[in-house]
Amino acid sequence: MKCVIVQPIHACGLETLRAGGVEPLIAPSTDLTELAPLLKRAAAAITRNWGFPQAAVDLAPDLRVLGVHGTGTDRVDRQALTARGIELVSTPGANAQSVAEHALGLILAVARGIPGGDQAMRQGDFGFRETFRGVELSGLTLGLWGWGYVASALAPLARGLGMEVLVWSAHADDSDFSSRGIARARSVAHLLEVSDVLSLHGRPGVAPVLGASELSRMPKGAILINTARGALVDEAALAAALRSGHLFGAGLDVLIQEPPGPNTPLHGCPRLIMTPHVGGSTEAALRRTAQAVATQVVSALLAAP
């Protein structure tokens, strides 16, 4: 049995596949012409943020299982998999702690202007300390839009800084909130209106959840953080809110297009920190996630008739 590794995973995942009798086939890129000869031979595939479109499914006549290295399956053509009876497995929670820590890092970096301060020092501009005024986070409200593995790991980190935590979730249990000393927002509007820092942790739908109307409801001087999905945010509306000064700043680890194109409205925005989708890219998280997805792929292949 062969498994195409569409995007790189930690070596321990490859070892897990081999131990289970599955030969990993390492793809040189996500270009379909290069994937085609590998997928033609494969019973399984493991992908990351590239997803798995209909065209890739069509190139894999013997595919029995698709593994997603991570939580998000929004870039996978699930309808195409279902039509062929191909099993889909993923690893929710495997990298949650690392992503939560990255979200906290973005909050601190934006609030205290850390990248700008570093650049100023390298350029000999010690006057930065007089021109930039950071934000003290203690006593402010962190709003969490969504309540999953990452949000529930981020909440205690923020409380450790002295922040109040408010959550909007249509599914979470109130008892889970009260036991952690955090509050539930009455509505999306309530969350937006009182969040000094808003961190997104939901799943994208047909349209972004955060557009011009939603951004305008946030307090002037608020900070936006997104480590979930780029599609959650209207990037043009965010750029406008940053340029107008309505938002103090933003930290993004995910974008609609990765890497961003030359025409993205985000280029040159003030107090915007962007990282290249590295929230889950710690050694510990990569090991856990690779081993988890490889284990599930092996189990699915062995269980298949």
Name the catalytic one among 229, 235, 271, 288: 229
Task: Note if 214 is an active site residue.
Answer: no
Q: Tokens 């850390």 belong to which residue?
A: 114
Name the catalytic one among 69, 102, 277, 288: 277
- Closest C-alpha among 262, 261, 289, 258 to residue 275: 258
Length of the chain: 305
The H helix count followed by the E strand count for the chain is: 13, 12
Cβ burial of 160 (10 Å; 0-12, 13-18, 19+) is: exposed
Main-chain dihedrals φ then ψ at residue 155, nearest 5 degrees: -55, -50
Task: Note if 159 is an active site residue.
Answer: no
- Closest C-alpha among 44, 40, 56, 41 to residue 304: 44
Name the catalytic one among 23, 34, 136, 258: 258
- Closest C-alpha among 75, 24, 29, 28 to residue 54: 75
Neighbours of 260 (CB within 10 A): 17
Region of residue 176 (left: phi > 0; alpha: psi -120 to 50; beta: else) = alpha
Task: Note if 277 is an active site residue.
Answer: yes
The set of catalytic residues is 229, 258, 277
